[in-house]
Structure 1
């Protein structure tokens, strides 16, 4: 199963989701870990994690009671202001997010003050998601096994960690046209709660967030499909922005 999702991501080819009942969520995380391990054996390096289902509406839509998480590697990094090639993806979409840079180890049950003290910096970010399943259709175990649809991330400039990020306006534009407007408050009511959840989730897997890790806090708005030739830009109140280009 790990080989199947890994090859789909590596070749940018769609596959059918796993048959209902084939996997439970615990199994799915084992597939995810094995799939990413294949990437590491090819020379990629782990750089952190991403969170999914960080809005109540998305949880209700998927019929789940908790967030999901996926692993990030250095090969997923897209240079800020750089370019991506759609041929490397199946049906990519982009979401506006915030990213955190971990300065002190975090794992298990932690509090908001502990999380705040563990952050080294915060940045505007965009995640490129790309379910490898045909027609972007999947159930919970299938999406977890597929590394929570994680495919790429674009990071803006890092800012100091003590900024108030509770309710920052976020605007994502495609080719100069505003397509998504939201607030950082849409991320679990406060983005720092995403880090509380991240520490708990990786702790349950016997892991920890380490100094230097990047954590994508989850989407603040709906995702936008990407098309050839597009210019994508995110602006976040008080934090600045990030942008990238889709090759024509």
Structure 2
């Protein structure tokens, strides 16, 4: 089996597992390199685009120390977002689509200019059209949510869904805004946007470098999920999930959804 065939088979295995809501075993250690894991990820996304989905942005993963510790890895990673992953703010999320979903609070950026090369922090701020509170729904195809760094990258960094709140231009208070995620009004994760690489804007700088290394251009109007501000929380059916970022006049705002099982 040549290398291209091997990587495409891995992409098909992961894509089919997501479609069929089926756990798979981790790949054998050393099955592929990190660079090859990203090739698998893109091949899997191309299958989805071939079915009619549209790529609309990127997500960063393991940008907080809490997430690195939780998942047992030590490197920042990134994945791709398609339009089929977007859930409605205030709507209902069908957990019947997933295997063992979790949710985490994030900050989402909307770009106003192409990102076509490495950026400084000042240049990154100039690329932003708006910012919003957000939550990402993650779901690993691997059994027991256990994986190596290469495994999770190949699996699009466990990204399956996102809920984005109202857009604003409130960039000044992003550096250390309080983050509170609740299930049915009860705190389940509390933290700060400062956990996202010290400041969420640094995620744009890192994203620009990653894109440049992959010889990719992120067009204007794209989403960038900056990474989790806290550890992820297992998502049971029937709960109302709400995330508030910041407080008072400078608050970034709130985003929410209700999780339900097997709606279709």
Q: Indicate yes or no: 2:168 matched with 1:159.
A: yes
Distance, in Å, in 2 between the alignment partners of 1:198 and 1:30 is: 17
Q: Tell me the TM-score normalized by structure 2.
A: 0.90
Q: Do 2:38 and 2:154's aligned partners in 1 also have CA atoms closer than 8 Å?
A: yes
Taking only aligned residues, the RMSD between alpha carbons, in angstroms, comes to: 1.3
Q: 1:62 aligns with which of 53, 72, 85?
A: 72
Q: 1:91 aligns with which of 100, 125, 148?
A: 100
Count, aligned residues: 247
Partner of 1:208: 217
Q: Indicate yes or no: 2:253 matched with 1:240.
A: yes
The structure-2 alpha-carbon separation of the partners of 1:57 and 1:247, relative to structure 1 and needing over 3 Å to count, comes to closer
Deviation for aligned residue 1:104: 1.0
Moved more, 194-203 or 102-111: 102-111
Partner of 1:127: 136
Structure 1 unmatched runs, 5+: none
Q: Indicate yes or no: 2:216 matched with 1:218.
A: no
Structure 2 unmatched runs, 5+: 1-9
Partner of 2:49: 40
Q: Do 1:120 and 1:161's aligned partners in 2 also have CA atoms closer than 8 Å?
A: no
What SS does structure 2 have at the residue aligned with 1:166? Answer: helix
Distance, in Å, in 1 between the alignment partners of 2:216 and 2:146 is: 29
Deviation for aligned residue 1:176: 1.1
What SS does structure 1 have at the residue aligned with 2:59? Answer: strand
The structure-2 alpha-carbon separation of the partners of 1:181 and 1:121, relative to structure 1 and needing over 3 Å to count, comes to same
Partner of 2:32: 23
